[in-house]
Amino acid sequence: MRTLMLASVLLFAVSCAAGGGAAVTSNDAVSSTPKAPYGIWGEAVSTATSVEGRTIEAYKLGDGPTTVLFVGVVHGSEPVGQGLLGRFIEELKLNKAALAGRTAIVVPVLNPDGLAANTRTNARGVDLNRNFPAGNFDASARRGPEPLSEPESRFLHALIGTWKPVRIVAVHQPLRCINFDGPVGDLAAEMARLSLFPLKSDIGFPTPGSLGSWAGGDLGIGVITLEHTPSNDVLQAWIQHRESLLLALKGL
């Protein structure tokens, strides 16, 4: 009986893995209803894949009319966003009050190939946070030959088009500040207060083609960049930013 159960579990695991590997393009990988595959934190709403074929998991929590997008590990060498947003997903599964009137779309890892290789860029050496169709996009090998040349940036672009978030929170490292683009200055200031980080309206260097330049500057969707410290201690990051992330979902 025990052997039979084990065999069933293995068969299930194999069939799930086979289903999850189906090839889809970024643009048709965004669904308004949850579907396979199951990711680390439950049922994912995307089957988009990276350059090297890794799934870019996105999770939907809540059903409210106001959607907020959270994205981590845009840069693969900044891993704390994965655990931090994983904790946030677990919190939202239990804390239904936090989801009143809200839908949270959470992408813990936008750049799974970079995370695996510990590189800032994706597998083709492109910095995804310079590959968005902002007015200030500036083509280069490092920024991509054209906007959205990479499957990971195309995926996030499609996700934003589908879900129309009112604001976006991106988790980065290691600059230890809250930075913002677009009409979210007051909220960013309150998040900075809660996270005990300085607020910076200007990160101090040009970021052509960044998510902030495109969504925040060009589209007017506020983008808050939570720049954590160099520390990859997820529990410490969670304790520090829990209230801040909850406020980002709720709004002022």
Q: Indicate the residue among 79 and 147 with the shorter CB distance to Zn ion.
A: 79
Decide: 107 and 71 in contact? Cβ < 8 Å: yes
Q: Indicate the residue among 103 and 121 with the shorter CB distance to Zn ion.
A: 121
How many Å apart are CA 252 and CA 134, to the nearest integer? 27
CB of 155 vs Zn ion, minimal distance in Å = 17
The radius of gyration computed from the CA coordinates of the chain, to the nearest angstrom, equals 18
Side-chain-side CA neighbours of residue 108 (13 Å): 21
Q: Indicate the residue among 78 and 190 with the shorter CB distance to Zn ion.
A: 78
- Number of residues located near Zn ion, criterion CB under 5 A: 3
- In the list 29, 50, 61, 75, the residue contacting Zn ion (rule: CB under 5 A) is 75
Residues 6+ apart with CB under 8 A from 236: none
- The verdict on 228 binding Zn ion (CB under 5 A) reads no
Q: Indicate the residue among 62 and 86 with the shorter CB distance to Zn ion.
A: 86
| Range list of β-strands (E), 40-186 | 42-43, 59-61, 66-72, 102-107, 167-172, 177-181
CB of 157 vs Zn ion, minimal distance in Å = 18
Among positions 149-188, residues that touch Zn ion (CB under 5 A) are 172
CA nearest neighbour of 82 among 69, 72, 67: 72
Of the candidates 78, 150, 152, 227, the residue annotated as catalytic is 227
Residue nearest Zn ion (C-beta atom)? 172
**Segment interacting with Zn ion, rule: CB under 5 A, options 47-55, 58-66, 77-85, 202-210:** 77-85
Q: Indicate the residue among 30 and 84 with the shorter CB distance to Zn ion.
A: 84
**Segment interacting with Zn ion, rule: CB under 5 A, options 24-32, 69-77, 82-90, 185-193:** 69-77
CB of 91 vs Zn ion, minimal distance in Å = 23
Looking at the DSSP bridge assignments, the partners of residue 43 are: 38
Helices 80-94 & 234-250 angle (0-180, nearest 10): 60
Collapsed DSSP state (helix, strand, coil) of residue 238: helix
Q: Tell me, yes or no, if 227 is annotated catalytic.
A: yes
Binding mask 207-226 for Zn ion (x = CB under 5 A): --------------------
CB of 128 vs Zn ion, minimal distance in Å = 9
For residue 105, give both structure tokens: 């779309």
For the CA atoms of 226, 229, 234, 236, the dihedral, rounded to the nearest 10 degrees, stands at -100
For residue 161, give both structure tokens: 């088009």
CB of 227 vs Zn ion, minimal distance in Å = 7
CB of 122 vs Zn ion, minimal distance in Å = 13
**Segment interacting with Zn ion, rule: CB under 5 A, options 72-80, 98-106, 137-145, 158-166:** 72-80
How many Å apart are CA 194 and CA 121, to the nearest integer? 30
How many Å apart are CA 208 and CA 212, to the nearest integer? 9
Interface residues toward Zn ion, by CB under 5 A: 75, 78, 172
Catalytic residues: 227
